[in-house]
Structure 1
Amino acid sequence: MITEMLENVNVSSPLVHNITNYVTVNDCANALLACGGSPIMADNVLEVEDITSISNALVINIGTLNERTIESMIKAGKKANEINIPVIFDPVGAGASKLRMETTFRLLKEIKFSVIRGNVSEIKVIGEKSIDNKSRGVDASVSDKITDKNLDEYVIYAKNLSKKIGSVIAITGAIDIIAYNNKAFVIRNGHPIMSKISGTGCMLSSIIGAYCGANYDKLLDATVAAVSIMGICGEKAYEKMKENSSGTSSCKVHLIDYISRINKEILEERAKIEIR
C-alpha cells in the first residue's frame, strides 16, 4: 500500500500550497521537493484563492499564527473545499494561547479538513474543546505520552474523534496513530533525535499534503505512507549522524537527503505498521 502511494507522488509531482510557519517554511519547501512534490508558499489574502485553485493540496499550519494570515487561511481553505482538493491542518501549539485556541476552532468550523496532524496534546485540545493546561508550547505534554500501556485507549480516542470531525486523525510522536472512522494504523518508525530538530512535524504535515494530493482517493493510506516514510528517514538520518560523529544540524540535512532517496526496497525492509 505505501509503495503505491510513493509511486503516485513520484509520477504526479503534486503542487502543494502551504500557509505555514516562518520558523520552518524553508524546511517544508525542501522536504516537499525531496519527497517528489512541488511547494508553493503564499499567505497574502489577495492571492491565496488563486494559488489554491492551481494546487493539488493545501496545508494550513498555525505555528507562527498572526492576525494577517488567519483570513488567508480561511479563504484558502474554503477555496480548497470548493474545488475538492485535500486540506491538511497542523494545529501547532493549539492549547498554548487563547488566540491559537480560538483560531483552531474557527478553522475547524469554517473548513472541512481531510487530515488533522498533531502531537497528542494538540489533538486532545481539539477533542476536548478546552485549553489544555498541560501544553508545553508546540511540544506534547509528558503526561500525554503514548505508550504500549495506553495505546489501545488512544486508538479508540483517535477513531472517535475522526468520526466526530470527519477527518483522518494523525497523532504523531514516539508511537504514531493514524485513524479514520473504525480503522486505525499504528506506526513505530522514527527516532527520538527528531524531537531535537525544529520543523520535523511541520515537514511531515507538508509531506502529507503531497501524498494526499497525489492519492486524493485514498487519504488514510496516503497519510500512513507519509508518516511511515518520515519515521524511516529519521531513523536513517540518526544512523548517518552517528556514523559521522556529527550533530543535530547534520541530522536535519541527512533527514532531507533520505526523504529524497526513499524507495520501495527501503520501505518494505523498514516500515513498522500495524492495523488496529
Structure 2
Amino acid sequence: MTDWGQHLSQMRQTAPLIQNITNFVAMNVMANVILSSGASPAMLHAEEESGEFAAIASALTINIGTLSADWVRGMVAAADGANKAGTPWVLDPVAAGATTYRRDTSAQLIAMKPSIIRGNASEILAVSGAMTKGKGADSADSVTAAEDGARALAKSIGGIVAVTGPEDFITDGQAAYRVRNGHDMMPLVTALGCSLNGVIAAFIVGQPHLEATAAAIAYYGHAGEVAAKTTSAPGSFATAFVDALYTISPEQLSQAARIEKI
C-alpha cells in the first residue's frame, strides 16, 4: 500500500523553490498556497530573466491565463532554460481552445515537452486535438471524456497529464491514478485551480512524477475537505483552505488520500 503522505513529507523537507509564470488573477493566491504547503514561490515572467532563473529554481510552472506577447516570450525562455537545466516544469493551458492565440501558444509550449500538463477536461481535450464543449476557462466536458486524450498527450510529451475535476485523472500514458479528494466549494474561490500547479511542481521535485502528482492533487483536495468543515461560504473557505494546507500532516494525508490505481 502506497504511503501517500511520504510525498508531502519529502516536499516539506526539501522546501523547493518554485518559479511561477501565472496570470494576474492568481499571483497572490498562488504564492500563499505554495508558502503554506511548505515550498518557496518566485513570481517572475520577464523574458530577460525567466530563462536564467529557471536554471536556479527547483521547478517551474507556466499558466497562460492572461496572455500577451511579451509574457509568451518569457514563458518560452523559461521553458527553454528549464529544459537545458533539467528543471521539471508544469504547464496549465488555460482556456486553450478559446482563441487561435491560445491554441497556438499552447501548441508551442507543449512542443517543448513539459514534465506535467494539468488542465480541466475541456482544456486537455483541446490540446489533445479532440472536440470540446468548453467555453473560456470553464470545463463543459467530463473528466472521463478526456482520459483517452490525456493518455495520448502524455505519451507524446513523455511526461504526465493530469485532468482535474470532480474526480481527477493522472496518467503517464500507460499507468494511471484516479483521485477522489476535494470539495464543491473549491471552484467558487478564484485561482485555486491555478494555484494547484505550484503544489504539483513542489511535489515532483526529486520524486517520481506520476505518484507525486497524484499525491499533490489528493493533498490539495483534502485541504478543501478540511476547510469545508469550518465554513460554508467562499470568502471564509479561502482562508480556511490556506490554513488547511499548512496544518495537514503527512500522516493525515496518508489516511485521507482517496487514490485508486487504474
* TM-score with structure 1 setting the length: 0.90
Three-state SS of the structure 1 residue aligned to 2:169 is: strand
Query: Which residue of the partner structure matches residue 247 of structure 2?
Result: 261
CA distance in 2, matches of 1:267, 1:47: 37
CA distance in 1, matches of 2:179, 2:138: 19
1:105-120 matches, within 5 Å, as 105-109=107-111, 111-120=112-121
- Quick check: 266-275 or 27-36, which moved more? 266-275
CA-CA distance at 1:129 after TM superposition: 6.3
CA distance in 2, matches of 1:166, 1:239: 39
Contact 1:155 1:184 in 2 (8 A): no
Structure 1 counterpart of 2:213, from 223, 226, 238: 223
CA-CA distance at 1:264 after TM superposition: 2.2
The answer to whether structure 1 residue 88 and structure 2 residue 87 are counterparts is no
CA distance in 2, matches of 1:53, 1:166: 21
Contact 2:23 2:66 in 1 (8 A): yes
- How many residues in Structure 1 have an aligned counterpart in Structure 2? 260
Contact 1:16 1:213 in 2 (8 A): no
CA distance in 2, matches of 1:138, 1:187: 22
CA distance in 2, matches of 1:83, 1:22: 27
Change (3 A) 1:102 1:156: closer
Query: Which residue of the partner structure matches residue 8 of structure 1?
Result: 10
Query: Which residue of the partner structure matches residue 145 of structure 1?
Result: 142
The answer to whether structure 1 residue 162 and structure 2 residue 162 are counterparts is no
Query: Which residue of the partner structure matches residue 191 of structure 2?
Result: 199
Consecutive unaligned residues in structure 2, runs of 5 or more: none
CA distance in 2, matches of 1:57, 1:129: 29
Q: Deviations over 1:107-136 (max 9, x none)?
A: 112x22000000000000011167x4x222
Contact 1:14 1:214 in 2 (8 A): no
Amino acid at match of 2:95: G
CA distance in 1, matches of 2:127, 2:35: 30
CA distance in 1, matches of 2:49, 2:174: 38
Contact 1:87 1:112 in 2 (8 A): no
CA-CA distance at 1:156 after TM superposition: 4.0
